[in-house]
């Protein structure tokens, strides 16, 4: 059984989710201690519990220690299988974070797989639903994955109630070089609010356009006003992305109580403009999320403005399970990441 220190590196929920996903994919039993040790409230929160349970269902795992606030678990996977699954986080816990754990496992199952998850679609400290659909899933698609995602209903903190359906067709991932050249298409975006005044979405949009600077001339940001039928509770988000010949670049912010709409839009516009100006192939958040898919594809490379602690933690963890190594280099203000195979899996 592989021993993993859940407090290593960034020491949060991503390490836990990725560890059980890699265990399910490789068949390697794993014991994870010190779960979320670097967080104010360590241990399993409802969304982490839901993520581990969901991965466990896909591989019929035996799981010891799986309880709310638990700080260690033992995860013993059996055979991966496809099929249709329904999961309810039970709170406004992030659906997109649960999907972070599930998607690589679904791709590795080599059978059609569909999941329907209820919880929060756009919540703080998690990818916005539109970012997952328009940025990460498009990037994974460039590795050969066939993934479709549908937001059936929005849900926000503290009520949850949102629903997302994600389906995967069996396919083999192939190594890909994500390259920043050839951004010929327009910048797209979506600023949405639910059960809130429309001017919030309009202000997010305008602030993003202003901070995009010269890039704003080719930006088309849609605003969306959702009512009770389309969304449970009040909330919103702004996501912008641009698709090049060899990559997709994006930025996102979730609406928060007490944070002006302009601040959210400005942050998205500044981030995307900075990535475009620097010639980055991936934004910082996509850079840490794409690593496991590159590893499963047994190769790939990309540039990004910086390699986050989340990314470095993911690299360390992936190398415990898969026969790959990550190489880092710096040049012209960018970090370059290359994934290489290095022998047999343990």
- Burial per residue of 226-238, b for 16 or more beta-carbon CB atoms within 10 angstroms, e otherwise: beeeebbbbbbbb
- 209 Cα distance to chain centroid: 25
Residue 9: half-sphere exposure toward Cβ, Cα within 13 Å: 19
69 is catalytic: no
Instruction: Please give the Cα distance from 88 to 282 (Å, whole number).
Output: 31
Which residue in 48, 192, 285, 310 is the catalytic one? 310
Alpha carbon 127 to chain centroid, angstroms: 6
How many whole angstroms separate alpha carbon 97 and alpha carbon 194?
21
Q: 127 near 47, Cβ under 8 Å?
A: no
Dump strand ranges (E) for 209-319.
219-226, 231-232, 235-243, 248-254, 300-304
What distance in Å separates the CA atoms of residue 265 and residue 211, rounded to the nearest whole number? Answer: 8
* Structural contact between residues 292 and 326, judged by C-beta atoms closer than 8 angstroms: no
Token representation of residue 80: 């991966």
- The residues annotated with a catalytic role in the active site are 310
């Amino acid at each position: 059984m592989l021993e993993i220190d859940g407090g290593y590196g960034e020491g949060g929920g991503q390490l836990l989710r990725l560890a059980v996903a890699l265990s399910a994919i490789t068949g390697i039993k794993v014991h994870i201690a010190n779960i979320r040790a670097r967080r104010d409230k360590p241990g399993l929160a409802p969304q982490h519990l839901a993520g581990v349970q969901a991965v466990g269902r896909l591989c019929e795992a035996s799981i010891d220690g799986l309880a709310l606030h638990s700080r260690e678990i033992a995860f013993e996977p059996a055979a991966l299988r496809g099929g249709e699954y329904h999961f309810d986080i039970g709170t406004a816990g992030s659906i997109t974070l649960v999907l972070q754990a599930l998607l690589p496992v679904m791709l590795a199952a080599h059978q059609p797989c569909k999941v329907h998850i209820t919880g929060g679609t756009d919540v703080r400290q998690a990818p916005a639903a539109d970012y997952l659909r328009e940025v990460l899933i498009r990037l994974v698609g460039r590795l050969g994955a066939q993934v479709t995602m549908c937001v059936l209903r929005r849900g926000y903190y503290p009520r949850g109630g949102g629903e997302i359906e994600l389906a995967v067709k069996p396919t083999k991932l192939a190594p890909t070089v994500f390259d920043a050249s050839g951004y010929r298409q327009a910048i797209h975006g979506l600023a949405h609010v639910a059960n809130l005044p429309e001017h919030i979405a309009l202000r997010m949009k305008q602030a993003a356009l202003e901070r995009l600077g010269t890039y704003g001339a080719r930006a088309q940001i849609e605003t969306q006003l959702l009512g009770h039928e389309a969304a449970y509770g009040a909330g919103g988000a702004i996501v912008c992305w641009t698709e090049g010949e060899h990559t997709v670049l994006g930025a996102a912010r979730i609406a928060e109580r007490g944070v002006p709409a302009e601040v959210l839009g400005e942050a998205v516009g500044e981030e995307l403009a900075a990535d475009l100006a620097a010639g980055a192939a991936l934004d910082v958040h996509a850079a840490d999320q794409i690593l496991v898919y590159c590893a499963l594809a047994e190769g790939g490379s990309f540039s990004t403005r910086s390699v986050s602690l989340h990314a470095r933690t993911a690299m360390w963890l992936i190398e415990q399970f898969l026969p790959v190594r990550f190489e880092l280099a710096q040049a012209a203000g960018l970090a370059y990441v290359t994934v290489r195979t290095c022998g047999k899996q343990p």
